[in-house]
Amino acid sequence: MLLDYVTVEFPRISRYGEGGTPDMLVDPAVLASLQPGEGLTVKQGRVYKLESFAFVSNAGLGRTRTGYRLQEFLTTAGLPSAQTLASLIFFALLFGIIAALHRWAGPRDRTDPTYDVLYWQLALVIVLLSAPLTWVMNTIWLLTLTPLLVRELSSPQPPARRIALTLVGLGLAIAALPDHLAFPRLFPPGTVGETAWQKYVIAQLLVALGLAGRLLSGAQRERHTTEVASRH
């Protein structure tokens, strides 16, 4: 089974994600024999629901309209593993932007004890955004920012840093808003499209932007202090 996964299933997953061509799908007759009714399945002679709760995977840039168009372009260009390549492109783009900002900002504020936490949290958000498949449930990792955000906003901060922290807070608030899965009565049938869960991508982008701004403000502060000290 391991050999079959490496030689057959892994190339399929790399190219199609959780999908595949019609010949890769399970025989409809087999599926029909395992489904006693809509939304039900049979396991070892017992009937179970196909799922006990629902969730979606659209929490990364690869599952947005832009991501799908990029994958279509890569496939049309004859490149293999379009989903993986799209993920690498998004990662390179985000990493390049952050690296350029980091270089422009100069040295970090070594007196700031929260710098390392925010730095690696930003790296985590980039991974979530650029991964080939990011489940909505993975955005719970952003919760670690909440106590730090409350502490920072409750103390005096320079205007630029406060704006950056506000963006982080706004992103967390958007991620926490109810969606059609948690509160289906708020979203009547037919009104929910793919944009219903794109709020998670928007939330992560705001958090990333806010974290980058917060880190840049710390680096610029140290650069300004260094320049003042050199003059004296």
Residue 221 to residue 132: CA distance in whole angstroms: 36
At residue 107, does pLDDT exceed 80? Answer: no
42: left (phi over 0), alpha (psi -120 to 50) or beta: beta
Query: How high is the pLDDT of residue 42?
Result: 78
Residues of the chain with pLDDT > 90, as a percent, come to 32
Q: Which of 7-16, 130-139, 187-196 has the lowest mean pLDDT?
A: 187-196
What was the pLDDT predicted at 212?
A: 92
| Tens-place pLDDT, residues 144-199 | 999 999 999 998 888 989 999 999 999 999 988 877 666 666 666 555 544 556 88
The pLDDT of residue 37: 77
For the stretch 29-87, pLDDT in tens is 887 776 777 777 778 888 887 766 666 667 899 888 899 999 999 999 988 888 889 99
